[in-house]
Structure 1
Amino acid sequence: MTQEKMIDFALSKIGRAAYSMAYPARLGPNFYDCSSFVYYALIAGGYLAKGTAIGNTESLYRLNGTVLKEIYSYKEVRRGDIFIRGIEGKSAGAAGHTGIFLEKDKIIHCSYRANGVTITDMERGLAYILDRQRSNRERYFRPQAANKNLSQMIIDKVGMVVIRVATNVRTAPNLSAPIVACYYPGQIVYYDKLVETPTHLWASYIGSQSGQRRYLAIREKGV
C-alpha cells in the first residue's frame, strides 16, 4: 500500500535523523525539519514524484485538492493522514508544524524539541502539539494518488478578476470538485494565486468566512 510505504519511510528515520531547518541539511538523510520530513515521506509513498522540490508547510497547504484531500473533523482522522499546524499564509518557519498520524492520538514527526524523528501520543505530550480539534490553526489532510490528468502549475500572483458570467467556486481546481458558492456578472474577486491545469486557468484565494482555499475557473485553456 502506498500509505504503508510512506509510514515505513517515516518509521525508518527514528533515531537516524536529527532536526535542522538549515539548508541544505534539511534535505536529509541525516537531518530533516518537520515539513521536509513529510515531503520525503510523501515521495516514498508515491504520492509525490521523485525529484519534487522540498517545500514547507505553506507549500503543503497548496497541495490541498490534488495530492492532499482535506479532512474537516478530527473524528475522521486515521492512519496515514497528515496534520498541519499554523494559519495558512502565515505558517512558514517556526510558525508552523506538520507530521503524520500513525493512528488517532498518535503521530510521527520531526521536531526541534526531540531533535529528530519521534512518535508522540497522549502519554508523551500530544496535547502539547495538537488541539485535536480542527481550526484555522490546525487542519488535517489525507494523501491521495495524484491524478495525472490534473497536473497543475501554481503561480503566486496577486490580482483581481471581474466576473463576466456566473462562475462556480470550488474546493479544488477541478470541475468535479464540490461547489461551495457562485459569483455573478459584475462581481469582483481578489486572488493570491493562479493555478493552471491542462483544461483551465483558475483564480485561487482564501475564503473570508470559511478560511479555506477556494478556486474558480476564469478561463478555458486555448480560449
Structure 2
Amino acid sequence: MSNINAMIGWMSDQLGKVTYSMTNRLGPDSYDCSSAVYNALIAGGFLRAGSMGNTETLFNDLERNGWQQVKPVNGNYPAKKGDIFIWGTRGQTLGAAGHTGIFVDDNDNIIHCNFGFDGITVNDHDYIWGYNGQPDITIYRFTGNVGGEPDPKPSTPKPIDPVPQDPDKRITMSGTFYPDRQLAVSADTNPDDTASPALDYYNAGMAIPYDSYIMANGYAWVSYVDYGGTRRYVAVGPDDGRIDTTWGRGFFN
C-alpha cells in the first residue's frame, strides 16, 4: 500500500547520516537528489523495489504510477505534504541540470539530497529555489491508481523502469551527452562490424542530443535520428553497471 509518511520517513531517516554524490549515488552512505527520491518512492510503495532512474526518467515514472502534475494557481503552486518537485526543463534535466525532492509539509518546506549542504536536509523551497535562479519547476502529487500500481500477485512482473519500445530493444529516454573524447557515429550497435564503419565523429565537448539508449555488445549506446531520418548510435561507455565510467557526461551521471 502506498504511504506518503513512509516515503518522507525514508528521507528523514537519512538526515545527517549520508553525503551527496553523483558518482556513488546508490547508497548506503551517499546519494544524489534523484536516487534519494527513488529510494523514498520505493520505501513508500509507489515504485517496485529495484527501480532506479534519474531526474529525467522521474517524470515518466511518476506519471505511469498514479502521480499527476499540480497546476499553478495565479502563478503559484499550491504544494502539499508528499508532493514531489522537479527543477529543470523536461528533456534537459540530466546531471547537474535538474534537481528533485519532496515537500514535507503544507508550508513549502522540502526534504532533498543536495550538493549545497552535502547530504539530505530540510529547507524552505522558495528560498532554495530562488537562490538557484528560479529554474523551471514541475510538481507532482499522488492521486491514485492512474497508471496502475503493481498487482501484489502478478503472474508476470510488470517493470517500472523504462521498458523497451522498439524491436532493437532501445529504451526511450531523452537527454544530451557531452563526450570527453572523440566518439564514432554508427549505423548499428556492433562495434566490431567491419561492414559498418564509423559514419562520422563527435569531438570532445560537442552536444549529442538523443531520444533513447540501449545496452548492447558490452557498451552503453545513445541513439537518435539524424537530419536524413536515419537512426544512428554512439557508444558512450562500457556496459558495466556503473555511472562513473562513461566517456563524458549526460547519461545517468
For normalisation by structure 2, the TM-score amounts to 0.54
Classify the secondary structure of the residue corresponding to 1:62: helix
Counterpart for residue 105 of structure 1:
108
- Whether the aligned pair in 2 keeps the contact of 1:64 and 1:70 (CA below 8 Å) is no
**Superposed CA offset, 1:73-95 (max 9, x none):** 24431000000001111100000
Counterpart for residue 51 of structure 1:
50
Structure 1 vs Structure 2 CA RMSD: 2.7
Q: Identity over the aligned pairs, expressed in percent?
A: 37
Q: How many Å separate the matches in 2 of 1:139 and 1:119?
A: 19
- Whether the aligned pair in 2 keeps the contact of 1:34 and 1:99 (CA below 8 Å) is yes
Classify the secondary structure of the residue corresponding to 2:48: coil
Counterpart for residue 62 of structure 1:
60
Q: How many Å separate the matches in 1 of 2:32 and 2:62?
A: 21
Counterpart for residue 8 of structure 2:
7
Counterpart for residue 117 of structure 2:
114
1:13: Cα distance to partner? 0.5
In the alignment, which of 120, 125, 130 is matched to residue 127 of structure 1? 130
In the alignment, which of 79, 82, 102 is matched to residue 81 of structure 2? 79
Sort the Cα spacing of 1:149 and 1:14 in 2 relative to 1 into closer, same or farther, 3 A: closer
Query: Does structure 1 residue 34 correspond to structure 2 residue 36?
Result: no
Classify the secondary structure of the residue corresponding to 1:28: coil
Is the strand fraction higher in 1 or 2? Answer: 1
Aligned residues: 153
1:148: Cα distance to partner? 3.9
- Whether the aligned pair in 1 keeps the contact of 2:18 and 2:29 (CA below 8 Å) is yes
Structure with larger Rg: 2
Q: How many Å separate the matches in 1 of 2:129 and 2:149?
A: 36
- In the alignment, structure 1 segments of 5+ residues that lack a partner are 159-191, 194-223
- Whether the aligned pair in 1 keeps the contact of 2:164 and 2:172 (CA below 8 Å) is no
1:157: Cα distance to partner? 5.4
For normalisation by structure 1, the TM-score amounts to 0.61
| Worse-superposed segment, 93-102 or 73-82 | 73-82
Q: How many Å separate the matches in 1 of 2:34 and 2:44?
A: 15
- Whether the aligned pair in 1 keeps the contact of 2:108 and 2:126 (CA below 8 Å) is no
Sort the Cα spacing of 1:48 and 1:64 in 2 relative to 1 into closer, same or farther, 3 A: closer
- Whether the aligned pair in 1 keeps the contact of 2:26 and 2:35 (CA below 8 Å) is yes
Counterpart for residue 140 of structure 1:
139
Q: How many Å separate the matches in 1 of 2:117 and 2:141?
A: 25
